[in-house]
């Protein structure tokens, strides 16, 4: 019997090392995420998900302050690129970084989001841009013509016309966007509320076999929890015909729900959120992914969210793993900082948009921020290039890892410094220079499943 148990443990370890697929719900256990907006961008083999971020230990959604971007190639192993836009970097906003969506048009990635405006508490629909799908994103103001723009969603049709959908408190609106995305075209604005049964908030649009599917959150008699409904139309602005519920009550559901529907590698998926990972605490939600399918008449088959998630349609049951990839050049934009050093891109082979070098003075440093759901262990890796064998320090919150060896490498390479402990919430990792001649590409944290 002992031999069988040992053999099974060995097989399991080999399967994980070999990259076999595993799946579970919540799909990501490293961080509290909500409102997932999933996309497949042209030319990319990755699935990209844009999410809001719940703070661990909170009892209110007012503490939501930033957004994250995730990617995957197998629906099981996830990369979290850290904070990509924070309230503090939005000049007009005060708080409440709630639901988001994204779109790609003419090589620019657009992020739409909602935050409360300074001074009056009105929810505005903000707009930010990036050259990269993973961000970070830079705010360029809020979209004109949208009153109380909560829960925004973008849809770009085949003719490249962009549409904005928004709604809250029992209403839903839609309109065409201007070419620069900065305003709606007023004469195209449509009140979709009368067409959508018990609509409350959270619109999102996808296309299937030439039809437009508007998914939204239903709240009967204004009582929680929200169920997920959908409606279908022949045109982006309707009229829409409600088809009913596709995600109802389930074990671990939160008071809210919000999600998206996407096709990836010839399979359809429904993204949404729950609260089971947080011990049924509705202010600390978790991203869920379930398999989705259609009937022959185009209606969506109702989904009962499963603890095994996408294993329902092919992946093997087991733990998912998140890698937190923090690009050094994004330090300041992603909650960290760069002191003394400089951003560069002359040396080829880096990841992201560049790297940090010119550590010319003692204690020059670059700091990155990693947010996690609970006290947990991660394997620390650093991408770098160095002209000589060197030793440097890395500060993990208040623990100093001293005299870490960085062997000479003319090309960018990755070195593993073993397992470190991260605390619940925000963690700061600081690379501190002790000698010159090093280039820091990224700091990577790989979730350790215990």
Catalytic residues, by residue number, are 35, 201
How far apart are the two ends of the chain, measured CA to CA in Å?
24
Residue 382 tokens, joined: 């650093």
Give 46's contacts (C-beta < 8 A, 6+ positions apart): 40, 71, 72, 73, 133
Q: Is 306 left (phi over 0), alpha (psi -120 to 50) or beta?
A: beta
Q: Taking a C-beta distance cutoff of 8 angstroms, is the pair 78, 320 a contact?
A: yes
Q: For residue 233, what are the β-bridge partners? A: 212
Q: How far apart are CA 349 and CA 355, in angstroms?
A: 10
What is the distance between the alpha carbons of residues 290 and 272, in angstroms, rounded to a whole number? 8
125 prior amide bond cis, ω within 30: no
Q: Are 252 and 275 in contact (CB under 8 A)?
A: yes
Q: Give the 3-state secondary structure of residue 57.
A: coil
Q: Yes or no: say if 255 and 240 are a contact pair by the CB < 8 Å rule.
A: no
Both tokens of 92, joined, read 């007009």
Q: How far apart are CA 50 and CA 353, in angstroms?
A: 19
Output the six-digit token pair for 72: 């995957």
Q: Using alpha carbons, list the distances in angstroms from residue 160 to 70, 185, 383, 437.
A: 25, 15, 38, 47
The two tokens of residue 277 are 């990972």
């Amino acid at each position: 019997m002992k031999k069988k148990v040992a053999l099974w443990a060995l097989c399991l370890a080999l399967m994980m090392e070999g990259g076999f697929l595993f799946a579970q719900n919540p799909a990501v256990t490293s961080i509290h995420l909500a409102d997932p907006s999933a996309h497949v961008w042209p030319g990319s083999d990755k699935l990209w998900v844009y999410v809001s971020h719940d703070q661990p230990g909170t009892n209110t959604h007012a503490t939501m302050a930033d957004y994250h971007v995730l990617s995957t190639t197998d629906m099981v192993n996830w990369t979290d690129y850290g904070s990509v836009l924070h309230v503090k970097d939005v000049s007009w906003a005060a708080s409440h970084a709630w639901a988001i969506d994204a779109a790609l048009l003419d090589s620019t990635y657009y992020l739409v989001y909602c935050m409360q405006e300074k001074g009056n508490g009105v929810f505005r629909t903000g707009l930010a841009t990036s050259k990269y799908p993973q961000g970070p994103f830079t705010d360029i103001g809020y979209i004109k013509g949208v009153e109380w723009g909560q829960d925004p969603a973008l849809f770009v049709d085949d003719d490249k016309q962009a549409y904005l959908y928004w709604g809250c408190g029992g209403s839903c609106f839609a309109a065409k966007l201007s070419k620069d995305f900065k305003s709606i075209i007023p004469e195209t604005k449509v009140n979709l509320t009368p067409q959508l049964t018990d609509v409350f908030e959270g619109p999102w649009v996808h296309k299937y076999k030439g039809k437009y599917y508007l998914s939204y959150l239903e709240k009967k008699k204004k009582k929680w929890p929200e169920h997920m409904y959908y409606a279908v139309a022949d045109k982006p602005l309707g009229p829409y015909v409600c088809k009913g519920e596709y995600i109802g009550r389930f074990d671990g559901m939160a008071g809210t729900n919000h999600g998206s529907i996407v096709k990836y590698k010839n399979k359809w998926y429904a993204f949404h959120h729950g609260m089971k990972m947080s011990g049924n605490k509705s202010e600390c939600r978790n991203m869920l992914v379930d398999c989705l399918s259609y009937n022959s008449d185009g209606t969506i088959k109702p989904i009962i969210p499963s603890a095994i998630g996408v294993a329902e349609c092919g992946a093997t049951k087991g733990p998912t793993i998140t890698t937190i990839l923090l690009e050094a050049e994004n330090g300041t934009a992603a909650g960290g900082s760069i002191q003394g050093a400089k951003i560069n891109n002359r040396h080829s082979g880096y990841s992201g948009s560049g790297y940090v070098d010119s550590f010319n003075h003692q204690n020059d440093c670059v700091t990155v921020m990693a947010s996690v759901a609970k006290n947990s262990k991660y394997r620390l890796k650093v991408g770098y290039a160095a002209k000589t064998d060197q030793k440097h320090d890395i500060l993990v919150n208040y623990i100093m890892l001293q005299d870490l060896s960085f062997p000479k490498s003319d090309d960018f390479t990755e070195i593993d410094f073993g397992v470190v402990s991260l605390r619940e919430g925000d963690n700061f990792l600081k690379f501190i220079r002790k000698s010159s001649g090093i280039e820091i590409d990224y700091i990577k944290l790989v979730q350790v499943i215990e």
